[in-house]
Amino acid sequence: MFDKILIANRGEIACRVIQTARAMGVRTVAVYSDADTNALHVVQADEAVRLGPAPVAESYLRGDLIVQAALETGAQAIHPGYGFLSENPDFVEAVEAAGLVFIGPSAKAIRAMGLKDAAKALMTKAGVPVVPGYHGDNQDAAFLAQQAGQIGYPVLIKAVAGGGGKGMRLVEAAPNFLENLASAQAEARTAFGNADVLIEKYITSPRHIEVQVFGDGTDAVHLFERDCSLQRRHQKVIEEAPAPGMTDEVRAAMGKAAVTAAKAIGYAGAGTIEFIVDGSNGLRTDGFWFMEMNTRLQVEHPVTEAITGVDLVAWQLRVAAGESLPAHQDDLAINGHAFEARLYAEDVPAGFLPATGVIDHLAFPGTARIDSGVGPGSEISPWYDPMIAKVTVHGPDRATALRSLSAALDATQVAGTVTNLGFLRLLSRDRGFVAGEVDTGLIAREEAALCAAPKPDARAVAVAAVVAAQFGSDPLAGFTLWGPLERDILLAYDGSDIAARLTVHGAGNVAVTVGDEDVSLLRHGDHWGTPAIRHGRHVTVFGAETVTFDIVDPLDRAGDAMGGDTVLAPMPGLVRDVAVQVGQSVVEGDRMVVLEAMKMEHVLRAPRDGVVGAVSVATGDQVTAGALMVALEE
């Protein structure tokens, strides 16, 4: 076994590899960019080496610097994680040329599977079923259109160098073919520097089922399947293992095809054979086709680990260190069911826009496996993938595991950035998904219902108001001997103000009026029945939905609302002093009215230079929020 390895990646996957390496007594070297100086993977590794500035082309894609870092720190092997350089055969060769071990397949195996057309040709030769289509060299538009007609619509145009759903177009009928071809080619040229495409039959009611394989260069086994059909725009959202509705017969056929594929290229390490499956009529031995091979550890590998008990990273290290396969096919069995949900910093109602922010608060339930590369205080920067965590659960059967996923998502708390948590929660309760009726179109069909922005109810507002008022830990805060204490709190959500009036009936007993609803809240220990935290000038309530409110300082708001001509009461209160008279000249910032509210004196000042035109309050007056107190002449 190696004494020390370098991990050429960041985020959750780097942390994941460090964890297993540490358990195996292997020391770890992290690499990082300037945006990641304080990132978790850097903190967790035994050593860390700076690569360069934040952009990936100057840091995580600098294979030369990574090899140099390994040599300088005495690491014997490099784990590539996924993404970045993990499927780059030139990097593998550079690693090996430096006398280091690449923890993964050979450059040759990666090249064999690198282009979708060549991979399909190879698989056809090996006897693995491949989606019917044209995978040849002729890229003439008229010829491809004619091929599409022969295959029969609908067809899928795919960039041969494609990945991440890019360069892919569904064409429903012949008249749309040429236009879609041109846009797929253009996208492929920009994204991959290779405009070549292939045409294949579009499988209706498609399911994405993939098989985890593992090889040692000679022999290979499979670790069963994962169903990754819950996708949005060809990106996986929730994965599970095993696949719903899978039969022993189809599993054996898919497993055999996957192992055949791996052996055909002398595969070493962890890999995934992705199949597209016709889900229209149950799973059949003649209803699955090879789509592509991912020659690396996959994001969703935890579901496979959960049902097999195998640590795939440990296997990667052992095989890379020269051991043969750690298990025979007969040693492997499925235990129960597992789900993984990908928690991202993204703005779902805005169309799943990647979000950024500093994580002010992050909490997960103890019932789930959490793979994460961030913690409280971490920044989700615009430079890299905005993944916050993978939440993986395991249960004895699918229904139990899925309930456990819902519960785990309900108990997950993130504040400081918007996330897709609400979307994942709704998805985990989706009727079709719960019934195991999954296909790659499920999310798109139900997108409107799954993506609605949360609408905070009166209770969420009430809890936010109490937390904003900080009736938190001091048991006597807000307690008064001579009657209920009232206090107004102004919150803002989604561009609108929400006013809440708190009436304190005693320690830990507050009535909150929100609009025409009254909510009674009792404090239980350190919470008010619904978890919530205050972070800076925000309160996040972790109720049925996670809602973040801004705490509006009425004084700031009053300043904005004055419009330059008036001084309004920012909150209800008692006028303590009026310092100006009609006709008096004032300069911006002059003291005009002193208002006592919330047991404090607030000095309200002239919004600009001018002459006082009207004074509508006198000392001793009680005013309501928004009342006009002083107006300047136009």
Residues that bind ligand ADP (CB under 6 A): 131, 156, 158, 162-165, 200-203, 206, 208, 231, 234, 274, 276, 291-292, 357-358, 415-418, 440, 537-538, 540, 548
The option from ligand ADP, Mg ion, none interacting with 165 (CB < 5 to 8 A, set by class) reads ligand ADP
Q: Which residues have C-beta within 8 Å of that of residue 338, sequence separation ≥ 6?
A: 240, 241, 302, 303, 304, 306, 307, 392, 393, 394, 395, 401
Q: How far is the CB of 202 from ligand ADP (least distance, A)?
A: 4
Q: How far is the CB of 50 from ligand ADP (least distance, A)?
A: 26
565: closest CA among 621, 497, 629, 490?
A: 629
Q: Which residues have C-beta within 8 Å of that of residue 416, sequence separation ≥ 6?
A: 357, 358, 359, 360, 361, 535
The option from Mg ion, ligand ADP, none interacting with 62 (CB < 5 to 8 A, set by class) reads none
Based on CB atoms, which residue is closest to Mg ion, 82 or 479? 82
Based on CB atoms, which residue is closest to ligand ADP, 346 or 488? 346
Residue 487 annotated to the active site = no
Which range of residues in 4-12, 84-92, 270-278, 620-628 is near Mg ion by CB under 5 A? 270-278
* Cα(468)–Cα(493) distance, integer angstroms: 14
Q: How far is the CB of 236 from Mg ion (least distance, A)?
A: 9
Catalytic entry in 296, 342, 459, 487: 296
Question: Three-class SS string for 496-545?
Answer: EEEEEEEEEEECCEEEEEECCEEEEEECECCECCCCEEEECCEEEEECCC
Q: Which residues pair with 574 in a beta bridge?
A: 596, 622
The option from ligand ADP, Mg ion, none interacting with 418 (CB < 5 to 8 A, set by class) reads ligand ADP
- Tell which phi-psi region holds residue 262, choosing left (phi > 0), alpha (psi between -120 and 50) or beta: alpha
Pair 157, 128: CB distance under 8 Å: no
The option from ligand ADP, Mg ion, none interacting with 545 (CB < 5 to 8 A, set by class) reads none
Taking residue 429's Cβ as centre, other Cβ atoms within 10 Å add up to 14
Based on CB atoms, which residue is closest to ligand ADP, 206 or 373? 206
Based on CB atoms, which residue is closest to ligand ADP, 558 or 593? 558
* Cα(453)–Cα(442) distance, integer angstroms: 19
Q: How far is the CB of 54 from ligand ADP (least distance, A)?
A: 19
Based on CB atoms, which residue is closest to ligand ADP, 206 or 610? 206
* Cα(581)–Cα(137) distance, integer angstroms: 88
- Tell which phi-psi region holds residue 248, choosing left (phi > 0), alpha (psi between -120 and 50) or beta: alpha
Based on CB atoms, which residue is closest to Mg ion, 101 or 291? 291
Which range of residues in 137-145, 268-276, 357-365, 483-491 is near Mg ion by CB under 5 A? 268-276
Based on CB atoms, which residue is closest to ligand ADP, 22 or 166? 166
Q: How far is the CB of 545 from ligand ADP (least distance, A)?
A: 11
- Tell which phi-psi region holds residue 77, choosing left (phi > 0), alpha (psi between -120 and 50) or beta: beta
Which range of residues in 23-31, 264-272, 273-281, 471-479 is near Mg ion by CB under 5 A? 273-281
The option from ligand ADP, Mg ion, none interacting with 537 (CB < 5 to 8 A, set by class) reads ligand ADP
* Cα(251)–Cα(284) distance, integer angstroms: 10
The option from Mg ion, ligand ADP, none interacting with 120 (CB < 5 to 8 A, set by class) reads none
Exposure b/e, 201-219, CB count within 10 A at least 16 = b: bbbeebbbbbbbbbbbbeb
The option from Mg ion, ligand ADP, none interacting with 417 (CB < 5 to 8 A, set by class) reads ligand ADP
Q: Which of residues 274-303 bind Mg ion (CB under 5 A)?
A: 274
Q: The tokens of 550 are what?
A: 């801004």
Cα 312 to the chain's mean position, in Å? 23
Q: How far is the CB of 298 from Mg ion (least distance, A)?
A: 10
* Cα(3)–Cα(24) distance, integer angstroms: 10
Closest residue by beta carbon to Mg ion: 274
Q: How far is the CB of 340 from ligand ADP (least distance, A)?
A: 16
Closest residue by beta carbon to ligand ADP: 357
Residues of this chain that bind Mg ion (CB under 5 A): 274
Question: Known catalytic residues?
Answer: 296
